[in-house]
Amino acid sequence: MSQLVNVEVLGAEQEGPLMADSYDYSRLPEDLRDQAMLAQGTVLTKLGGAVERVIDAGNTLRWAKATLPHGEYLPWVQQACGLKERYARQLVQAAEWVNRQHAAGLDQITDATTLFLLSADATPEDVRQWVIERCAAGNPPTRREVQERKRQAKGKPERSLEHEVLVALKLRPEALDLAAKAQHITTLQLMQSLGVEEPPKGKRHETADAIYCRNGTGWWKLPIQAVADLPLQPGAKPLFQEQTAEQHVAIAYAAKLLGFKDSHALRNSLTPSKIKLKGLPAKNGHQARPSTARGMCYVAPLNS
């Protein structure tokens, strides 16, 4: 698949469009190659300037980020689509903002840069609301008007505390919700809970019920169910489309369910190279597949 597209390409020294065909699709699991090639075509053909197309490209990039194996998203973005990481991030952020708004008239904005301005973390919420109202009235503002409105609003404390936290820490709203469910415990409390005489090694420990993350004064305890309830990124499609009993669980729990020696053994079997060689691991009547969430994987019963 070779297509020329005038987008922000890798390397400041490049003046023309990049021939986007340098990505080696053999690096991906075989069952993802066709989908990733179709996604590449969508990204390249949708970047024509109209905001609707930019949003389509951003949503497709979100799918790729949630679906491609760990470490393959950026090479695919750069080599297959010819995009700089920053530009791809702007596309994703713009798509996420428009998806959240569901506001009438946003399709009247025909300048993608204006959309990037509106979806940026630093843009005050009242500026965005002003733009939405203008679009709903059939009078979308120009890029210069949006820039001027942002300058006038600069320094005003109109943003909520939650928004300030999101901007400062680059957190997803789901992460704030998960943080609210976390419990801070001491190392002694953790040892008592696990029934051990020595504290766990490393910065992270998993059980079938919780994930424990070390901090400066103790441990954060995250309930497994709270992590499992986090929504998938839009566009992510399960490999087990015919199996409705799939669950998002801790790797430690999945290893025990499938009969692996330990978590490390299951992690090793879920690497792209092992999946390409042997397929998805299946034991004890269950099959596992990778997850983009650290320490987690998907498990589904076979023949369910």
212 has pLDDT over 50: yes
Are 93 and 207 in the same domain?
no
Q: Which of 153, 184, 201 is where one domain is finished?
A: 153
270 has pLDDT over 70: yes
97-137 confidence digits (pLDDT tens): 877 766 566 777 777 788 888 888 878 888 888 888 888 88
Model confidence band, residue 94 (pLDDT cutoffs 50, 70, 90): confident
Please indicate whether residue 242 or residue 91 has the higher confidence score (pLDDT). 91
Instruction: Give dist(CA 223, CA 39) in Å, integer.
Output: 35
pLDDT (mean) for 265-269: 91
Please check whether residue 43 lies inside any domain of the structure.
Answer: yes
74 has pLDDT over 60: yes
Are 178 and 125 in the same domain?
no
Are 186 and 268 in the same domain?
no
Q: How many domains does the chain have?
A: 3
Are 142 and 253 in the same domain?
no
Measure CA of the first residue to CA of the last residue in the chain; give whole Å: 37
**What one-character-per-residue DSSP string does 132-188 give?**
HHHHHTT-PPPHHHHHHHHHHHTT---S-HHHHHHHHHT--HHHHHHHHH-EEE-HH
Are 23 and 91 in the same domain?
yes
Please check whether residue 223 lies inside any domain of the structure.
Answer: yes
Please check whether residue 162 lies inside any domain of the structure.
Answer: no
Are 146 and 61 in the same domain?
yes
Q: What is the pLDDT of residue 7?
A: 39
Please check whether residue 161 lies inside any domain of the structure.
Answer: no
Are 132 and 24 in the same domain?
yes
CB 230 within 8 A of CB 174: yes
Model confidence band, residue 282 (pLDDT cutoffs 50, 70, 90): very high
Are 178 and 255 in the same domain?
no
Domain that holds residue 284: 247-301
Q: What is the pLDDT of residue 161?
A: 66
pTM of the predicted protein model: 0.39
20 has pLDDT over 80: no
Instruction: Give which of 127, 134, 125 is closest to 149, Cα–Cα.
Output: 127
8 has pLDDT over 60: no
pLDDT (mean) for 204-211: 77
Q: Which of 194, 228, 262 is where one domain is finished?
A: 228
Please check whether residue 188 lies inside any domain of the structure.
Answer: yes
Please check whether residue 237 lies inside any domain of the structure.
Answer: no
Are 14 and 88 in the same domain?
yes
152 class by beta-carbon count within 10 Å (0-12 exposed, 13-18 middle, 19+ buried) = exposed
Are 138 and 186 in the same domain?
no
CB atoms within 10 A of CB 132: 17
Please check whether residue 62 lies inside any domain of the structure.
Answer: yes
Are 24 and 134 in the same domain?
yes
Q: Which of 153, 182, 213 is where one domain is finished?
A: 153
Please check whether residue 239 lies inside any domain of the structure.
Answer: no
Are 251 and 192 in the same domain?
no
Q: What is the pLDDT of residue 266?
A: 92
CB environment 247-264: b (16+ within 10 A), e (fewer): ebbbbbbbbbbbebeebe
Q: φ and ψ at 52, to 5 degrees? A: -60, -40
